[in-house]
Amino acid sequence: MTFHIGQRVRTTVDAPAAFPGAYSAPTGTLGTITGVPGQYSGYGVVLDGDPDQLPASFDEDELAPAD
C-alpha cells in the first residue's frame, strides 16, 4: 500500500521516544502523513498527541490506513 500526504494512518508498531523525555506512543496511535519516501527515509507522520508535532519516520509496513 502507498500512503499520501494528508492521509490519516494508524501505527502497527510502538513509537519509542527519540531521546530522553521525548514523546513515545503505543501501537495503534493515529497520525497524519506529512512526508513520503524521497523526502524522508520512510513516511513522515505527525502522531496525534505529540506535543512537539514533529514527524516521526515509519516504514510502509509499520502503518495502516486509519479507517
Mean pLDDT of the region 42-58: 94
3-state secondary structure string across the chain:
CCCCCCCEEEECCCECCCCCCCCCECCCCEEEEEECECCECCEEEEECCCCCCCCEEECHHHEEECC
Residue spans of the domains in the chain: they are 1-12+28-67
Best CA proximity match to 12, nearest among 52, 42, 39: 42
How far apart CA 41 and CA 46 sit, in angstroms, is 15
Just give the CATH number of 1-12+28-67. Answer: 2.30.30
Q: What is the pLDDT of residue 12?
A: 98
Could you give the percent of the chain with pLDDT greater than 70?
Answer: 97
pTM of the entire predicted model: 0.89
Q: Which set of grid coordinates corresponds to residue 50?
A: 505529540
